[in-house]
Amino acid sequence: MKKKLFYHTIEKIFKDDLDLMSEMLSFTGRIRSKEFDSELINAIVMKRKSDDLNIYDAYVIYKILNFIEQDLILYKKIFIGEGPHKDKCRDENNAILSKLPSEFEAEFYPSSGASFYNDGYFKVRDGNIEFELKQSRDKFSVPELSVPLEVGTTESYTSFNHISFEGGLARWPYGSEYIHLFYRNYQRQSNYERYIKSRSNNNEKK
């Protein structure tokens, strides 16, 4: 989804729900005051200036945080030891990525600015990767995971697009010693959508 269409979609949501728009204005202030885990926030969106954060970013952060709590998006941090260098430092960044635990593989591509599709890839070499479910604390195993990698700064709509349409995202923000891994839990989402549809049908019958 292109940025303009992405913003237009959120504007329509706000137009239909003014209370939500008001809540998101307040939520933007709470993010700026660092009320939430800054590492996780920077993994979702990282601007060149923190003051550039807007209500569209707040909406994406709000949705992703809620989806993580509902296990619709699974989240995991993988220690790498240091943050990335600037985009032009391809060799330096790949040297750091080579220090990932042996079960993981990642490569950083040279960036071509904001229009560039992604910064590389992150995948599990062989076997599965386990996430801890928020709702039950059980382990959830994902086979053959492979997702786009975004390094340094990134826009909220970029994170949203990768998670929504490509099934996940690996984020390595400036200053972070971790790869932040997001995975769209299709199994949980399917069950959740059936539940919502069932509730809607029951309400219509009343």
Task: Provide the pLDDT for residue 114.
Answer: 47
What is the tally of structural domains in the chain? Answer: 1
Find the domain containing 99 and state its range. Answer: 1-187
What sign does the dihedral 38-43-45-49 (CA atoms) show? positive
Task: Provide the pLDDT for residue 55.
Answer: 95
As a whole number of angstroms, the distance between CA 45 and CA 9 comes to 18
Is there a domain that residue 204 lies in?
A: no
Is there a domain that residue 196 lies in?
A: no
pTM for this structure? 0.88
Task: Provide the pLDDT for residue 198.
Answer: 54
Is there a domain that residue 202 lies in?
A: no
Is there a domain that residue 195 lies in?
A: no
- Beta strand pairing call for 104-108 and 120-124: antiparallel
Is there a domain that residue 168 lies in?
A: yes
Is there a domain that residue 194 lies in?
A: no
| pLDDT per residue as tens, the chain (206 positions) | 788 999 999 999 999 999 999 999 999 999 999 999 999 999 999 998 766 899 999 999 999 999 999 999 999 999 999 999 998 999 999 999 999 999 999 999 865 554 447 899 999 988 889 999 998 989 999 988 999 999 999 999 999 999 999 999 999 999 999 999 999 998 876 654 554 455 555 555 55
Is there a domain that residue 123 lies in?
A: yes
Is there a domain that residue 179 lies in?
A: yes
